[in-house]
Amino acid sequence: MPDLIINPVLTEYPPIVKIVGVGGCGGNIAKHVYESGVEGVSFAVCNTDRKALFNSPITRKVEMGVLGAGGDPEKGLESAQEAKDEIQSLFDDGTEMVFVTAGLGKGTGTGAAPFVAQVAKARGVLTVGFVCLPPDIEGEEKMALAKEGMERIKNNSDAIVVVDTQRIFDLYDDLPIEASFDKADDIMSDAAKAMADIVNKSGRINIDMADVRAVLKDSGDVVMAYGKASGDNRAKDALASALDSPLLLQSHLAGAKAMLLNIMTSSSKQLLTKELNEIEDCLRKQKGVDKSTKLVMGLMIDDSLGEALSVTIVATGLKPEFARRRVTLDSSEMEPVEPSVASSVEKKAPTISVVTQTSPRVPVVPLDMEEDDGYRYPH
Are 276 and 137 in a shared domain? no
Q: Between the CA of residue 74 and those of 29, 110, 132, what are the distances in Å? A: 23, 9, 19
CATH number at residue 326: 3.30.1330.20
Are 189 and 269 in a shared domain? no
* Domain region containing 258: 219-355
Do residues 131 and 110 make contact, with C-beta atoms less than 8 angstroms apart?
no
144: in domain = yes
Is 3 in a helix, a strand, or coil? coil
Are 172 and 24 in a shared domain? yes
Are 148 and 225 in a shared domain? no
Full 3-state SS string of 68-107: CCCCCHHHHHHHHHHCHHHHHHCCCCCCCEEEEEEECCCC
Are 25 and 157 in a shared domain? yes
Are 224 and 312 in a shared domain? yes
Percent of the chain predicted with pLDDT > 70: 74
Are 172 and 228 in a shared domain? no
Of 42, 86, 24, which Cα lies nearest the Cα of 33?
A: 42
pLDDT tens-digit readout, 172-200: 888 898 888 777 777 767 777 777 788 87
Q: How many domains does the chain have?
A: 2
Q: Which helix (H) or strand (E) holds 21?
A: strand 17-22
Q: Mean per-residue pLDDT for 310-339?
A: 52
What number of other Cβ atoms are within 10 A of residue 96's Cβ?
A: 17
CA–CA separation, 233 vs 236, rounded Å?
6
> How many angstroms separate the most distant Cα atoms in the chain?
77
143: in domain = yes
Of 241, 239, 307, 306, which Cα lies nearest the Cα of 276?
A: 239
Task: Specify the higher pLDDT residue, 74 or 348.
Answer: 74
What number of other Cβ atoms are within 10 A of residue 337's Cβ?
A: 21
89: in domain = yes
Are 51 and 189 in a shared domain? yes
Task: Specify the higher pLDDT residue, 208 or 82.
Answer: 82
Are 71 and 156 in a shared domain? yes
Do residues 312 and 196 make contact, with C-beta atoms less than 8 angstroms apart?
no
Are 233 and 183 in a shared domain? no
Rounded to the nearest 10 degrees, what angle do helices 23-35 and 177-200 cross at?
A: 60
CATH number at residue 180: 3.40.50.1440
Per DSSP, 58 falls in state: -
Lowest mean pLDDT among 35-39, 102-106, 277-281, 337-341: 337-341
Residue 319 has pLDDT above 70, yes or no: no
Are 172 and 225 in a shared domain? no
pLDDT tens-digit readout, 71-117: 788 889 999 999 999 999 999 988 999 999 999 998 899 999 999 99
Do residues 275 and 238 make contact, with C-beta atoms less than 8 angstroms apart?
no
Are 43 and 102 in a shared domain? yes
Q: What is the mean pLDDT of the chain?
A: 77
pTM over 0.85: no
pLDDT tens-digit readout, 1-30: 455 555 555 556 678 889 999 998 899 889
35: in domain = yes
262: in domain = yes
52: in domain = yes
Alpha helices in the chain (DSSP H): 23-35, 50-55, 73-82, 84-89, 108-122, 139-155, 165-171, 177-200, 209-216, 234-243, 273-284
Residue 323 has pLDDT above 60, yes or no: no
201: in domain = no
